[in-house]
Amino acid sequence: MNGNEKVRLNKFIASTGLYSRRKADELIEAGKVKVNGEIVRDFSTTVNRKDKITVNDKPIEVNKEFTYIKYYKPAGYITTKSDEKNRKTIYDILPPEVQHLKPVGRLDKDSTGLLILTDDGDLINKMTHPSIKIPKVYRVCVEGLIEQNDLIRWAKGLEIQKGKIAYAEASVEDIEDGNTVLTVVLRQGMNRQIRKMAEAVKHPVISLKRTHHGCVDLLGLKKGAFKYLKPTQIKELKNYIAKIEKEYKK
């Protein structure tokens, strides 16, 4: 965003990486946001870099450069900064130089695999917003020999809790020790979605690993390690998101 480019206020706040778009809306509605010293509650307000934006009377500004990493989450850690139950989080093992980054979506405690972390709030919003449906790919091992009819039910949609229908594209990749290895593609972001879908067809998950998020993959990473995305990879990811965003707006 250059100095004169106007964007909606909630997008500006989210682009700082400090708040999500939803949290920005809540702050605006609560009268916590000021533009040039005046409280603003109008969501259609547009601003640019020249405007003085404060949240709770503290000035904020958009980072000129963002950081993007891919990280191989090991099992046993939750994807959050802190936890009221004092469970281990990914920030207990991430080094200090990336502690300020936020995850693009989550993986539950027992799951492993790819997490993208960044301080680019706009990218986080686009990659997690339900209207854009950026695909995530998983390698999932489930108990027993799952039937093709069960996978058809996944594709058509299963009610995993009252009023919530979950969808997934899945194909059988292998059979290991009498259990089924699946490749699963999600375009939703429900809590423990694959595990709940597997339980619904009576084939509980044994292991679950995310291998891809959009065009980013786990290649070259060991468990617990991270890599900075290169400028070419960042550009590729943003172009990928823009292409999918454009398709869903047709």
Question: 47 CB contacts (<8 Å, ≥6 apart)?
Answer: 6, 7, 9, 12, 35, 53
- Residue type for position 103: P
Q: Taking the CB of residue 48, how many other CB atoms lie within 10 A of it?
A: 15
Annotated catalytic residue: which of 25, 51, 83, 108? 108
Residues 131/29, Cβ–Cβ less than 8 Å: no
Residues 184/170, Cβ–Cβ less than 8 Å: yes
Is 83 labeled as catalytic in the residue annotation? no
Residues 77/89, Cβ–Cβ less than 8 Å: yes
Helices (H) and strands (E) in the chain, counts: 6, 17
Distance CA 57, CA 53 (A): 9
Query: Residue with structure tokens 């339900």?
Result: 130
Sequential DSSP letters for 1-45:
--SS--EEHHHHHHHTTSS-HHHHHHHHHTT-EEETTEE---TT-
Distance CA 245, CA 250 (A): 9
Catalytic residue annotation: 108
